[in-house]
């Protein structure tokens, strides 16, 4: 039962802390992974958007240049007007230059010219079908970086179209500066790079950091690098905070549920209120005639969800939770309620064995409780026998006067579970008690080859000498009964006679001792 596992508040606290830490770590890491994932997705989206945008741009540029390629065959005078208007209608294009025999001979900006490409843009390889370089600037915009692109015309010897286009990372600069995790964007062409981190061109080798994302365009030797932090302080802080809050919440909830909701101490009080406890009666017969001389009252708890909870579990628990007094008082109420019906089946003087837990025995209210119980029972009918285990008498100096008081009040006392404690025989001589209830462990051993029987013999002899009656508990077989009767035990109790029964069944019970062979 759960009560065994969560019997102390310290255990509950410990468990709650463990739960809290576990949840904090779990949810904190999940939160961190989630923001990590979100950032990864953001990176992917940005790099894809950028490459798609640039690819589209260069595809359109290529289409425009394909139209211009035939012009490389004509003379500048004939084609310059068209060249100029094409450049005017091409977004971001600074100038188109027509090239033939490695010579730029016509510019959309300045008309006819005669400039060897080697001098104009030495880094550009005009033998390649497409080539690109980054420029610090162009003659007309010397401080604004541009991309120089070369498209060869395979039909013309060392000819083709050369163009310079604006490249402007300013919008991305704004974007990345607003997003905490982004460090910047770089456009790398050959050995040079334009970045949002610097206003001038840098050497591609000087871009130390490894980019978070990198994409090279189709058909074009241009690479876009995305620089970003793997995680940001904010994300880590958020994960920590989230974990902490969840951990505290989970730990507290755990603590609340275990202490308040599942707190079995409270459950006992609730169970009393809801009438979940009931009593069963187990007959005790005298050994000679096997006639019922009394009953032992045993408590039961029918829990709505956990079913029948054995008394060993809840009695100990009630004691630990300091609830044994209300529980015993409830037991008294149940007995008082059953008393009229018991009176009808039990003869006057019948013994009513009630188990008294040590926690109650030594409680302040004990004497008053016992008096109140006596006063509520039918007068002069039952002989109440209080069953007290021997371990409850250890170190209890008040036991002796208390027993005297109980006797004066008309109660009888039985030492319960006799033989399970230590130095048991000492108690027999020290205290005045009426019955010894021999523990079922001894009874069980009857018939087996153990040292139990001589000990049992000694106990029975001593009991006779001290004028005490003996009750054998847990008598389950006729052999046990026969042995006990032979050895002079006074009363028998056990499954051989009857199991404990609810009131209804007990009222109908008739001893059937046919097995006894008498």
Residue from 235, 338, 387, 390 in contact with Ca ion (CB under 5 A)? 387
Burial class (CB in 10 A: 0-12, 13-18, 19+), 156: middle
- We find the least distance from the C-beta atom of residue 310 to ligand C2E, in angstroms, to be 5
The answer for residues whose C-beta is within 8 angstroms of residue 225's C-beta and 6 or more apart is 185, 186, 187, 188, 193, 207, 211, 213, 214
Site for Ca ion in 455-494 (CB under 5 A): 473
- We find the least distance from the C-beta atom of residue 360 to ligand C2E, in angstroms, to be 7
In the numeric block, the tokens 């048991």 are attached to: 424
- Tell me the per-residue interface mask from 460 to 489 with ligand C2E, x by CB under 6 A, - otherwise: -------------xxxx-------------
**Structure tokens given for 401:** 């006067």
The answer for residues whose C-beta is within 8 angstroms of residue 311's C-beta and 6 or more apart is 298, 299, 300, 301
| Region near ligand C2E per CB under 6 A, out of 29-37, 107-115, 125-133, 350-358 | 350-358
End-to-end CA distance of the chain: 44
Residue 47 interacts, among Ca ion, ligand C2E, none and using kind-specific CB cut-offs from 5 to 8 Å, with none
Q: Which is nearer to ligand C2E, 145 or 264 (CB)?
A: 264
Q: Indicate whether 436 belongs to the interface with ligand C2E (CB under 6 A).
A: no
Q: Indicate whether 412 belongs to the interface with Ca ion (CB under 5 A).
A: no
- We find the least distance from the C-beta atom of residue 494 to Ca ion, in angstroms, to be 11
Site for ligand C2E in 267-306 (CB under 6 A): 282, 298-299
- We find the least distance from the C-beta atom of residue 421 to ligand C2E, in angstroms, to be 13
The answer for residues whose C-beta is within 8 angstroms of residue 412's C-beta and 6 or more apart is 351, 383, 384, 385, 386, 434, 435
Return the closest-CA partner of residue 56 out of 294, 220, 284, 285: 220
- We find the least distance from the C-beta atom of residue 22 to ligand C2E, in angstroms, to be 37
The 10 Å Cβ neighbour count of residue 17 is: 14
- Tell me the per-residue interface mask from 344 to 363 with Ca ion, x by CB under 5 A, - otherwise: -----------x--------
Residue 311 interacts, among ligand C2E, Ca ion, none and using kind-specific CB cut-offs from 5 to 8 Å, with ligand C2E
Q: Which is nearer to Ca ion, 152 or 440 (CB)?
A: 440
Return the closest-CA partner of residue 316 out of 391, 255, 261: 391
Residue from 23, 224, 331, 406 in contact with ligand C2E (CB under 6 A)? 331
Helix H or strand E segment including 470: strand 469-472
Residue from 28, 243, 419, 500 in contact with ligand C2E (CB under 6 A)? 500
* Rg of the chain on CA atoms, in Å: 50
Q: Indicate whether 357 belongs to the interface with ligand C2E (CB under 6 A).
A: yes
Residues that bind Ca ion (CB under 5 A): 355, 387, 416-417, 473
């Amino acid at each position: 039962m759960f009560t065994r596992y969560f019997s102390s508040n310290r255990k509950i606290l410990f468990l709650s802390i463990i739960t809290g830490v576990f949840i904090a770590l779990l949810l904190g890491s999940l939160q961190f992974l989630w923001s990590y994932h979100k950032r990864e997705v953001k990176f992917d989206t940005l790099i894809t958007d950028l490459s798609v945008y640039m690819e589209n741009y260069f595809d359109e540029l290529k289409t425009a240049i394909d139209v211009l390629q035939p012009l490389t065959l004509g003379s500048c005078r004939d084609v310059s007007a068209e060249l100029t208007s094409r450049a005017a209608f091409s977004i971001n294009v600074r100038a188109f230059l027509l090239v033939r025999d490695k010579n730029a001979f016509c510019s959309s900006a300045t008309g006819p010219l005669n400039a060897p490409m080697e001098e104009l843009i030495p880094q550009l390889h005009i033998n390649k079908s497409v080539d690109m370089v980054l420029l610090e600037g162009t003659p007309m915009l010397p401080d604004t970086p541009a991309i120089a692109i070369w498209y060869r015309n395979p039909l013309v010897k060392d000819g083709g179209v050369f163009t310079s286009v604006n490249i402007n990372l300013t919008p991305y600069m704004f974007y990345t500066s607003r997003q905490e995790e982004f460090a910047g964007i770089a456009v790398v062409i050959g050995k040079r790079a334009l970045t949002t981190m610097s206003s001038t061109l840098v050497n591609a080798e000087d871009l130390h950091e490894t980019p978070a994302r990198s994409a090279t365009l189709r058909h074009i030797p241009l690479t876009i690098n995305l620089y970003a932090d793997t995680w940001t302080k904010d994300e880590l802080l958020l994960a920590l905070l989230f974990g902490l809050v969840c951990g505290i919440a989970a730990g507290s909830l755990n603590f609340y549920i275990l202490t308040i909701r599942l707190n079995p101490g409270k459950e006992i009080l609730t169970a009393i209120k809801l009438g979940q406890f009931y009593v069963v009666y187990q007959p005790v017969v005298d050994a000679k005639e096997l006639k019922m001389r009394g009953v032992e009252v045993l408590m039961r708890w029918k829990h709505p969800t956990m079913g029948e909870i054995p008394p060993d579990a809840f009695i100990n628990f009630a004691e630990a939770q300091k609830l044994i007094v209300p529980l015993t008082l409830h037991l008294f109420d149940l007995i008082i309620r059953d008393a009229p019906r018991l009176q009808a089946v039990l003869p006057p003087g019948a013994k009513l064995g009630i188990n008294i837990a040590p926690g109650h025995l030594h409680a302040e209210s004990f004497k008053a409780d016992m008096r109140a119980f006596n006063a509520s029972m039918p007068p002069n009918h039952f002989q109440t026998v209080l069953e007290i285990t021997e371990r409850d008498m250890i170190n209890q100096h008040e036991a002796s006067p208390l027993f005297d008081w109980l006797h004066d009040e008309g109660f009888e006392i039985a030492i319960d579970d006799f033989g399970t404690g230590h130095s048991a025989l000492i108690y027999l001589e020290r205290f005045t008690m009426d019955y010894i209830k021999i523990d079922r462990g001894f009874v069980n051993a009857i018939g087996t080859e153990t040292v139990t029987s001589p000990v049992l013999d000694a106990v029975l002899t001593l009991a006779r000498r001290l004028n005490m009656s003996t009750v054998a508990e847990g008598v389950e077989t006729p052999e046990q009964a026969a042995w006990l009767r032979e050895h002079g035990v006074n009363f028998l109790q056990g499954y051989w006679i009857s199991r404990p029964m609810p009131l209804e069944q007990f009222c109908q019970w008739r001893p059937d001792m046919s097995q006894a062979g008498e």
